[in-house]
């Protein structure tokens, strides 16, 4: 554990002088590439890459930019049975599962959901990555989650997981007014203590979030990420997102949303149409791939999609587009960035 005179877990160390590439097991990227090519060969135009599994919506925090605990207020006490969670994962068939919520580690049988064949044990594995949400250094992070002391607990948990041999990544949501200098310091800090990489994304303007003024417009996102990803500002950081998506965030590339690739299963069923939007909940994942459904959603189609740049809809778009571009595909494979996933823990 690292402490400073104020009792913070982190004490600054000399930072590296170059932007580091996130390292992940290459086998996972190759296997995902094989899966995508196989689906294309079968003539499937829409298929899942990541199953977003939410075994509960209860959370120990009330983050200012999150609409989930408010949207699911009536079912916050509901816990998804283990067999139901496993069945949803099988039904989707996606090669990657991201377990989120709510706070998934509150679920009393989360270990059985993560590793149903492991007899209650969740051992370190190249197939498992803990993803810890970090929205800045201590003051900024604790402000974003509306509770003091959370930053220190998060860094403490990251350090312990790394010491035990687990893969660990972080996930950061960027909002209007985010402090670039503070975020840069945080990215360098988590890289320096051994985190595999940092995922970043603009926040989606959930209608149920208490503060609607914090959400970025698309143009504001471009401007902020140009600063954040500037080589001088990002020295020492390790970004987990693939380079094509990072270019998209800066406004250097344009993509249409492919959120159908990230079907989300909750205690109320499959969110339709996608992770940010739930116009309804349905019983079968196949309903999310209906031929005409996505004619109504996406940038320029539904006003609720106009400012969305979340990785659940657009990082997958970079991958699907890269399949048709040998140069872009080589970029993804070289960076090892055609893989993402894990269990989200705040």
Does any domain span residue 2? no
6 vs 152: CA distance, rounded Å? 11
Percent of residues, the chain, with pLDDT higher than 90: 72
Burial of 180-189, coded b for 16+ CB within 10 Å and e otherwise, reads bebbbbbbbb
Q: Which neighbouring-strand residues pair with 265?
A: 53, 270
Question: How high is the pLDDT of residue 24?
Answer: 62
321 vs 328: CA distance, rounded Å? 8
CB atoms within 10 A of CB 300: 9
44 vs 271: CA distance, rounded Å? 21
Per-residue tokens: 331: 């970029």
Question: How high is the pLDDT of residue 20?
Answer: 53
Does any domain span residue 118? no
Least confident window among 159-163, 272-276, 294-298, 333-337: 333-337
Given a contact cutoff of 8 angstroms between Cβ atoms, the answer to whether 277 and 266 are in contact is no
Q: List, for residues 209-250, the tens digit of each pLDDT value.
A: 777 888 999 999 999 999 999 999 899 999 999 999 999 999
> DSSP class of residue 19?
P
Is the pLDDT reported for residue 191 higher than 90? yes
DSSP 169-211: EEEEEE-TT--HHHHHHHHHHHHHTT-SEEEEEEPP--TTSS-
Q: List, for residues 98-153, the tens digit of each pLDDT value.
A: 999 999 999 999 999 999 887 778 999 999 999 999 999 999 999 999 999 999 99
Question: How high is the pLDDT of residue 55?
Answer: 97
244 vs 251: CA distance, rounded Å? 11
Band the pLDDT of 5: cuts 50, 70, 90: very low
Q: Which neighbouring-strand residues pair with 95?
A: none
pTM, whole model, 2 decimals?
0.88
Does any domain span residue 133? no
200 vs 226: CA distance, rounded Å? 13
202 vs 218: CA distance, rounded Å? 9
DSSP 295-326: GSSSTTT-GGGTT---HHHHHHHHHHHHTT-H
Question: How high is the pLDDT of residue 69?
Answer: 87
74 vs 167: CA distance, rounded Å? 34
Q: Which neighbouring-strand residues pair with 272?
A: 280
| Domains identified in the chain, total number | 1
Q: List, for residues 8-55, the tens digit of each pLDDT value.
A: 333 333 333 344 555 666 777 788 888 998 998 999 989 999 999 999
Does any domain span residue 143? no
Question: How high is the pLDDT of residue 336?
Answer: 62
Does any domain span residue 15? no
Band the pLDDT of 271: cuts 50, 70, 90: very high
Does any domain span residue 93? yes
Packed helices 218-228 and 180-192: angle between N→C axes, nearest 10 degrees: 50
Q: What are phi and psi of 311, to 5 degrees?
A: -65, -25
Domain, as residue range, for 71 = 47-111+150-345
193 vs 207: CA distance, rounded Å? 36
Residues whose CB falls within 8 Å of the CB of residue 93, separated by 6 or more in sequence, listed in order: 47, 48
Select the more confidently predicted residue: 6 or 112: 112
Does any domain span residue 259? yes
Does any domain span residue 36? no
CB atoms within 10 A of CB 340: 29
Question: How high is the pLDDT of residue 23?
Answer: 60
Is the pLDDT reported for residue 338 higher than 80? no
Band the pLDDT of 80: cuts 50, 70, 90: very high
């Amino acid at each position: 554990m690292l402490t400073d005179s104020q009792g913070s877990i982190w004490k600054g160390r000399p930072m590296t002088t170059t932007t580091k590439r996130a390292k992940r097991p290459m086998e996972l990227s190759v296997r995902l590439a094989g899966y995508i090519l196989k689906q294309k060969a079968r003539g499937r135009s829409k298929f899942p890459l990541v199953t977003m599994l939410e075994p509960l919506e209860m959370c120990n925090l009330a983050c200012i930019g999150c609409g989930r605990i408010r949207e699911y207020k009536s079912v916050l006490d509901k816990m998804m049975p283990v067999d139901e969670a496993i069945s949803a994962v099988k039904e989707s068939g996606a090669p990657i599962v991201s377990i989120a919520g709510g706070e998934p580690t509150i679920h009393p049988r989360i270990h059985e959901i993560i590793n149903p064949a492991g007899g209650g044990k969740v051992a370190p594995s190249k197939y498992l990555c803990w993803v810890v949400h970090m929205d800045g250094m201590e003051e900024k992070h604790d402000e974003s989650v509306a509770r003091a002391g959370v930053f220190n607990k998060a860094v403490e948990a990251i350090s312990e997981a790394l010491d035990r041999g687990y893969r660990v990544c972080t996930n950061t949501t960027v909002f209007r007014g985010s402090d670039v200098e503070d975020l840069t310091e945080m990215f360098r800090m988590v890289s320096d203590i051994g985190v595999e990489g940092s995922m970043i994304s603009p926040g989606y303007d959930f209608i149920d979030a208490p503060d609607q003024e914090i959400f970025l417009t698309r143009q504001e996102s471009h401007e902020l990420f140009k600063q954040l990803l500037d080589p001088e500002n990002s020295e020492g950081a390790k970004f987990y997102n693939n380079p094509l998506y990072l270019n998209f965030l800066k406004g250097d590339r344009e993509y249409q949303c492919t959120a159908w690739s990230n079907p989300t299963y909750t205690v109320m069923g499959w969110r339709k149409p996608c992770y940010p939007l739930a116009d309804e909940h349905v019983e079968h994942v196949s309903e999310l791939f209906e031929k005409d459904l996505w004619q109504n959603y996406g940038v320029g189609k539904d006003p609720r999609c106009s400012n969305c740049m979340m990785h659940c809809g657009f990082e997958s778009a970079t991958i699907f587009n890269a399949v048709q571009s040998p140069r872009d595909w080589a970029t993804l494979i070289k960076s090892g960035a055609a893989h993402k996933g894990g269990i989200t823990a705040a």
